[in-house]
Amino acid sequence: MASQSRRGGLSLPDRRGSSKQEPNILDKINNSQIVSKGKQAASDTVFVAKKLLKSTGKAAWIAGTTFLILAVPLIIEMDREQQLNELELQQQSLLGAPPVGPAPPKFIISGQIIWINLKLNVGVMTSAEGKPVLGFWFEIIEVALAHGLVNLSVCGYGIPDDFNPPEAVTCLSIRI
Amino acid sequence: MAGFVPPGTTLLGNEATSAETKKVNEVHKNVDYMNLPCPIPYEELHREALMSLKPEYFEGMRFDFTKGLNQKFSLSHSVMMGPVEIPSQSSEAIKIPTAHYEFGANFIDQKTMLIGRVLTDGRLNARVKCDLTDDLALKANAQLTNEPHMSHVMLNFDYKGKDYRSQLQLGNGALFGASYIQSVTPHLSLGAEVFWAGQHRKSGVGYAGRYETDKMVASGQVASTGLMALSYVQKVSEKVSLATDFMYNYLSRDVTVSAGYDYALRQARLRGKIDSNGCTSAFLEERLNMGLNFILSAELDHKKKDYKFGFGLTVG
C-alpha cells in the first residue's frame, strides 16, 4: 500500500491508482456500496414496519377496549329498551288480551332445592360451548342458595348414545 | 322551570300554536327583575355535570341493603370488599384488599334529616340537616376516626332569600367560609365565596356563574387556589344528556377535559365518560326487580395501565 501511494503522487492517487490497477476491487467496492446501501434500506424498512405494527396494535387495543367499555353496554341497554317498547306497543294494540308472560330464561331452570339432593333430569341444556345439547343429566346439588332468584347447582351431563360416564360440568342456572 | 309542555307529548294543531304564542309573549315581555327564581346553592353549582360525569366508581364487590322500619326511619347495611388504593409517590398504584361492613341509620322528616354511618374500621360519619325556620337551614357534617388529627367537623348555616342564597361555613381547624349567590336574570346566577383556613394559613376568593335554560346548563367557577372549572351539560332528550367538563389549574398548569353521556332509560341508567388523561369509565345501574338494582362500574386508565372493575347489588 505504501509503495502504491508513493507512485501515485500528491493528489488523491489511490482511487485512480486502484482503478487503473485493480478494476475488480472498484467493482467490488461499488457493488458492496450498493449492497450495503440496500441492506441499510432493508433494515430501515423492517424497523419502521415493526414500529408501525406495534403502534397500530397499541392503537387497536386502546380503541377496542374503549369501545367495549363505552359503547357495548349502551348498545345492549338500548336494545333492551327497544324490546320493552315493542312489547308495550304489542300489549297496547291487543287492548285487553292477557299480558304476555316473561321471556323464557336462557338457562335451564333447576328448581328450588334446599337440601343436598340427587336428581335425574331429562331435557335440553346448554353445553359449555353454548349449544343446546339433548341428553340426560343428574344433579348433585352441593351448594344451593335458594331464594327463588338464584340457584347454583353442580350438574353432570351425558348424551344417551354415549356409554361413557357423564362429564361433570358446573352450570349456573338462573331462574328469573 | 320555564317549560310549559311536559316532554314526551306530541303537539298537534291548536296546542302547538298556543304554546308558540306563549313562548313569543314571554320573550317580548320585559323580564320581571323583582321576581327572579331562587338560585341553587353555591356548592351545587356543577350539580348536573357532577351527576353525569362523576358517579361513584368502585372496585370490587358492593352490597347495599336499606330497610325502612317506619315512614321516617330506616336502617342500612352495606358490605364492601375489594382493593383500596393507597396513594404512593411512585407512579404505580398500591392496592390493598380490604373488606368492611357499614351500618347506618337514617331519620328523614320534613324539617330534619339525620344520617349516621359506622364502619368496621372505626370510622363514624354523621350528617344533620335541619330547617330552623323557613329561610334558615343548618347543616352539620362530622367524620370521626381512630387516627389522631384525622377527624373533622363542618357546620353550615344557609340563609335563603327571595332571589339569593348565602352560606356561612365553620369547620374545625379554624376553617371559615362564606358564599353568596344571586339570580341576575331568570337564567343567569352569579356568586362569590371566600374562605380562610387557619391551620394551613391559606385564604382564597372564588367566583362562579351559572346559566341554565330548559335544554342546557353551563357553569363556570374560578378560585384563587388556582382552580378554574367550566362545565356544560346539554339535555338532548328526556332520557339522554351529554356533558363536558374542563378543569384547569393555573398555578400548576394542569388541564383535564372530559366528556360523557348519561342515558336514563326505564330499566337502567348508564353513564360513560372519556378523559384527556387517557381514562375511560362507565357506570351502569340496572333495575332487575322492584327495589333491586344491579350496579356495574368500570374504569380503565390507559396511561397508568390501571384497570378497575366492580359489581354490586342495591336492595331497597
In Å, how far are A129, B85, B123, B144, B201 from B148, measured between CA atoms? 56, 21, 12, 9, 21
Across B123-146, average pLDDT: 92
Residue B95 has what pLDDT?
Answer: 86
Instruction: Please compute the mean of the pLDDT values over residues A88-117 and round it to a whole number.
Output: 61
- pLDDT score of A158 more than 80: no
Contact A66 B300 (CB under 8 A): yes
Residue A154 has pLDDT above 70, yes or no: no
Residue type, A151: N
Work out the pLDDT band at B32, boundaries 50, 70, 90: confident
Instruction: Please tell me the predicted confidence (pLDDT) of residue A14.
Output: 54
Could you tell me if A69 lies within 8 Å of chain B, comparing CB atoms?
yes
pLDDT at B77: 95
B265 and A66 in contact by Cβ < 8 A? no
Distance from CA of A70 to the nearest CA of B (A): 6
CA distance B103 to A164: 53
Q: Which residues of A touch B281 (CB under 8 A)?
A: 69
- Residue A114, pLDDT above cutoff 50: no
pLDDT at A156 over 60: no
Chain B residues within an 8 Å CB radius of A84: 266-267
**Of the ranges A107-111, A165-169, B243-247, the best mean pLDDT one:** B243-247
Q: What is the mean pLDDT of residues A150-167?
A: 45
* Residue type at position A30: N
Domain spans, chain B = 180-264
Confidence at residue A142, expressed as pLDDT on a 0 to 100 scale: 42
Dist. CA A176–CA B58, nearest whole Å: 27
Interface ipTM above 0.95: no
What is the rounded distance in angstroms from the CA atom of residue B113 to the CA atom of residue B128? 6
CA closest to B296 among chain A residues: A73
Reported as a pLDDT band with limits 50, 70 and 90, residue B289 is confident
Decide: A154 and A139 in contact? Cβ < 8 Å: yes
**pLDDT score for A122:** 55
Look at A66 and B268 and tell me if their CB atoms are within 8 Å.
no
Average per-residue pLDDT for chain B = 87
Residue among A73, A81, A84 whose CB faces B284 most closely: A73
Question: In which residue are the cell numbers 380503541 written?
Answer: A63
Within 8 A of B263 by CB-CB distance, chain A residues are 74, 77-78
**Closest partner CB to B274 (pick from A70, A73, A78):** A70
Of A65, A70, A80, the CB nearest to B272: A70
- State the pLDDT confidence band at B87, using cuts at 50, 70 and 90: confident
Contact B314, B295 (CB under 8 A): yes
pLDDT above 70 (res A20): no
Instruction: Tell me the mean pLDDT in the region A46-61.
Output: 94
Query: Which residues of chain B are within 8 Å of residue A81 when distances are taken between CB atoms?
Result: 265-268
CA atoms within 13 Å, Cβ hemisphere of B314: 10
- What residue has cell string 368500570? B298
Note the pLDDT of residue B121.
86
DSSP string, chain B: ----SPTTPPP-THHHHHHHHHHHHHHHSPP-TTSPPPPPPGGGTTHHHHHHH------EEEEEEEEESSSSEEEEEEEEEEEEEEP-SSSSPEEEEEEEEEEEEEEE-SSEEEEEEEETTS-EEEEEEEESSSSEEEEEEEEE-SSTT--EEEEEEEEE-SSEEEEEEEETTTEEEEEEEEE-SSSEEEEEEEEEETTTTEEEEEEEEEEE-SSEEEEEEEETTSEEEEEEEEE-SSSEEEEEEEEEETTTTEEEEEEEEEEE-SSEEEEEEEETTSEEEEEEEEEEETTEEEEEEEEEETTTTEEEEEEEEEE-
Q: Could you tell me the pLDDT band of residue A22, with boundaries at 50, 70 and 90? A: low
B294 CA: distance to closest CA in chain A (Å): 13
0.80 surpassed by pTM:
no
Is there a contact between B129 and B111 (Cβ–Cβ < 8 Å)? Answer: no
Q: Which among B266, B282, B296 has the least Cβ separation from residue A84? A: B266
Q: What is the pLDDT of residue A9?
A: 57
Question: Tens digits of per-residue pLDDT, B34-44?
Answer: 888 888 888 88
Interchain contact A72–B (C-beta under 8 A) = no
CB contact under 8 A, A74 and B302: no
Say what the pLDDT of residue A146 is. Answer: 42
pLDDT of amino acid A97: 58
Model confidence over B240-281: pLDDT tens digits? 999 999 999 998 999 999 999 999 998 899 999 999 999 999
Q: Please determine, for residue A175, whether its predicted confidence score (pLDDT) is greater than 90.
A: no
Report CB contact under 8 Å: A73, B265.
no
Kindly state whether A70 is in contact with chain B, defined as any CB-CB distance less than 8 angstroms: yes
Beta-carbon separation of B300 and A69 below 8 A:
yes
Binned at pLDDT 50, 70 and 90, residue B28 comes out as low
Q: In this predicted model, which residue has the larger pLDDT, A76 or A174?
A: A76
The pLDDT value recorded for residue B11 is 44
Q: Which residue has the higher pLDDT, B226 or A142?
A: B226
Q: How many angstroms separate the CA atoms of B129 and A119, rounded?
A: 57
- Region B202-229: mean pLDDT is 93
Question: CB under 8 Å to B265, separation ≥6 — which residues?
Answer: A77, A78, A80, A81, B239
Minimum CA–CA partner of A61 in chain B: B302
Q: Give the pLDDT score at A128.
A: 47
Percent over 90 (pLDDT), chain B: 66
Q: How much is the pLDDT for A121?
A: 53
Question: Is the CB of A114 inside 8 Å of chain B's CB atoms?
Answer: no
Which among B270, B273, B279 is the top mutation candidate for probing chain A, defined by the most A β-carbons within 10 Å of its own β-carbon? Answer: B270
- As a whole-number percent, the residues of chain B with pLDDT over 70 amount to 90
Report pLDDT for A120.
55
Strands of the sheet containing A167-174, edge to edge, are A117-126, A132-141, A150-158, A167-174
The alpha carbon of residue B1 is apart from the nearest alpha carbon of chain A, in Å, by: 28
